[in-house]
C-alpha cells in the first residue's frame, strides 16, 4: 500500500514514555514494585491497589530515605489497609500517601505520575538502564 493506509485499520499510537507496569492481576490491598532511574541512580517505586483504585509512589520513606520494604516486596500492613515502613513501623494512607502513625507523621510518600494503558500503567519515570555483563 502506498497511500499510507494501515492494513489493520488506523495506526496505533506508540505507548507513552516511561516504565510499563502490568496491573491487570493486582488485587485490592496488593502492591507491585518496579525499577526506574532517577538521575543515574537505581530506584524503586510501587503501585498499590487500594479500594479498586491505583496509586503510585516512590519506595522511599520520608523519615529516613530507605526503601519501605526490606527488599522482599512486602509493603502493606497485615490488614492490607495501610502502606507500612518495615524499618520504623510508620503507616501511610494508600490513597494520599500521608503518614498517620510513626516517626514521619504528617509527611507523605512521593507520588509518581502515571497513566493507564490497557492492562498496565505507564509511570512517567525513566526506565532503569540495562547493564551489560
Tell me the pLDDT tens digit for each residue of 26-52: 999 999 999 999 999 999 999 999 999
> What CATH number is associated with residue 70?
2.102.10.10
Query: CA distances (Å), 12 to each of 50, 58, 127, in order?
Result: 31, 30, 22
Tell me the pLDDT tens digit for each residue of 89-111: 999 999 999 999 999 999 999 99
Q: 13 pLDDT exceeds 90?
A: no
Q: Is residue 21 part of a domain?
A: no
Q: Is residue 66 part of a domain?
A: yes
- Give me the pLDDT at residue 17, please: 83
Q: In what order do the strands lie in the sheet with 99-101?
A: 83-84, 91-92, 99-101
Q: Is residue 81 part of a domain?
A: yes
Q: Is residue 12 part of a domain?
A: no
Q: Is residue 85 part of a domain?
A: yes
Q: Is residue 23 part of a domain?
A: no
Q: Compute the average pLDDT of residues 80-92.
A: 96
Supply the DSSP string of 77-129, one letter for each residue.
-TTSSSEE-TTT--EE-TTT-BEEESTTTT-BPPB--EEEETTEEEESSBPPP
Range of the domain at 98: 31-123
Question: What's the gap between Cα 117 and its chain centre?
Answer: 14
Instruction: Provide the domain count of the chain.
Output: 1
Amino acid at each position: 500500500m502506498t497511500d499510507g493506509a494501515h492494513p489493520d485499520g488506523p495506526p496505533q499510537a506508540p505507548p507513552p514514555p516511561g516504565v510499563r507496569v502490568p496491573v491487570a492481576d493486582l488485587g485490592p490491598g496488593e502492591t507491585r514494585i518496579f525499577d526506574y532511574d532517577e538521575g543515574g541512580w537505581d530506584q524503586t517505586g510501587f503501585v498499590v491497589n487500594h479500594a479498586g483504585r491505583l496509586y503510585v509512589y516512590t519506595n522511599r520513606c520520608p523519615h529516613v530515605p530507605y526503601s519501605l520494604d526490606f527488599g522482599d516486596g512486602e509493603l502493606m500492613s497485615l490488614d492490607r489497609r495501610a502502606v507500612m515502613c518495615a524499618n520504623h513501623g510508620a503507616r501511610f494512607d494508600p490513597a494520599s500517601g500521608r503518614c498517620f502513625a510513626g516517626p514521619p507523621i504528617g509527611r507523605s510518600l512521593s507520588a509518581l505520575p502515571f497513566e493507564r494503558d490497557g492492562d498496565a500503567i505507564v509511570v512517567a519515570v525513566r526506565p532503569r538502564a540495562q547493564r551489560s555483563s
